[in-house]
Amino acid sequence: MNEMDKTTLSEDIRTALRMVIDPEIGKNIVDLGLVYDIAVEEGGVVSVTMTTTTRFCPATDFLKEAVQACVWYVPGVEYAEVRLTYEPPWTPDMMLDVA
């Protein structure tokens, strides 16, 4: 897997994650800036680092599970790991598009 393949896979994942919405805001988590990083390693091993708008929001586990499920379905992904972080904490300024 060369660098271009990794970049392509990363973009495919980013596109797929646009299907996952934050239920409260109604916008997808990518445009909201909740996906901090998508790291693609050799062999289609993917690590997604994400956050939620509010720490310990009741939707947190559902969002994490949704990202996990979504990434697994992207062709080329052999293994996916989702990591939740609050460093840095999300702020509304991270949104690509104002809700």
- 79-84/35-41 β-pairing: unpaired
Residue 84 near other proteins by CB under 8 A: no
> Closest separation between CB of residue 60 and other proteins, Å?
6
Residue-level length of the chain: 99
Alpha helices by DSSP H, the chain: 3-17, 60-72
Residue 2 near other proteins by CB under 8 A: no
Within positions 17 to 76, which residues make up the interface with other proteins, using CB under 8 A?
19-21, 23-26, 53-63, 65-70
The tokens for 13 are 């994942």
Give the footprint of other proteins on this chain (CB under 8 A): 19-21, 23-26, 53-63, 65-70, 91-93, 95, 98-99
